[in-house]
Amino acid sequence: MSQIVDARPFAYEFAPERAALVVIDMQRDFLEPGGFGETLGNDVGLLAPAIAGTARLLRAARAAGMLIVHTRECHRPDLSDCPPAKRGRGAPSLRIGDVGPMGRILIAGEPGADIIPALAPLAGELVIDKPGKGAFHATDLHALLGARGVTHLLFAGVTTEVCVQTTMREANDRGYDCLLVEDATDSYFPAFKQAVLDMVRAQGAIVGWTADSHQVAAALRA
Ligand code: C5J
């Protein structure tokens, strides 16, 4: 049965059994002091508002029996999946693979790579480790969604203009109808978040739709 979200730029219609909630990189390395985000000079507190919206979405999606996918940006301990160009870029205080207060920065299995406890995955939910910004790059995500007949993706997570936007654009090109949940995503740069919201829904939803978590939860309850 289809649900309709009061979305922008116009209503978004989806069937929960053919949809997935994709929560991008809500990891300690991005949201807590001492992780990757802070090594780059960012104020990690700017991402905290997205936690409540994401938690609301998770509750609604779980109650509706929707497929839930969590992603984690992280690399193998030997860094074989981390391009030197990624590790070498900029002047962070610690680089990917260096030891920080939450273990090695952005490395699979380290405490910093974990999803924050407030949004921890439940048994049966998919957890995709991804070496890139986009969750479709070098992962099985498209195959896993295809095997479940998923056609619609609802996005939450961080950061809006890096991993969330990249994944949403990858998904758009693969034929998914995508909705970005406005209060369930944040950026270290609030103006960049606003720009992404504006650009994805411009030109008749050229990349996708946006709505807030209350609107999505209301549709899932209907
Ligand atoms: C970044 C991400 N910002 N998850 N990663 O490097 O957006």
The predicted pLDDT at position 1 comes to 78
CA gap 181, 194 in Å, rounded? 12
The reply to whether ligand 1 has any atom less than 6 angstroms from the CB of 212 is: no
Ligand 1, atom 4: closest residue by C-alpha: 163
Does residue 208 carry a pLDDT above 90? yes
Q: Are 134 and 163 in contact (CB under 8 A)?
A: yes
Q: What is the rounded average pLDDT of the residues 194-216?
A: 98
Q: Which atom of ligand 1 is nearest to the CA of 24?
A: 4
Q: Is the distance from CB of 181 to CB of 153 less than 8 angstroms?
A: no
| Dihedral-angle region of residue 2 (phi above 0 means left; psi in -120 to 50 means alpha; beta otherwise) | beta
pLDDT at 215 over 90: yes
- 111 versus 1: which is more confidently predicted? 111
Give the pLDDT score at 175: 98
Q: What's the pLDDT at 135?
A: 99
159 lines ligand 1 (CB under 6 A): yes
Q: Is there a contact between 181 and 155 (Cβ–Cβ < 8 Å)?
A: yes
Q: What is the pLDDT of residues 7-58, one digit of tens each?
A: 999 999 999 999 999 999 999 999 999 999 999 999 999 999 999 999 999 9
Q: Which residues contact 52 (CB under 8 A, 6 or more apart)?
A: 183
Q: Which of 29, 130, 177, 178 is catalytic?
A: 130
Mean pLDDT, all residues of the chain: 98
Active site residue 130: yes
Does residue 159 have a cis peptide bond before it, meaning omega lies within 30 degrees of 0?
Answer: yes
> Ligand 1 centre and the CA of 132: distance in Å?
9
Q: Is 76 exposed, middle or buried (0-12, 13-18, 19+ CB in 10 A)?
A: middle
Instruction: Express each pLDDT in 125-178 by its tens digit.
Output: 999 999 999 999 999 999 999 999 999 999 999 999 999 999 999 999 999 999
- Interatomic CA distance for residues 109 and 131, integer angstroms: 13
pTM strictly above 0.85: yes
Tens-place pLDDT, residues 68-103: 999 999 999 999 999 999 999 999 999 999 999 999
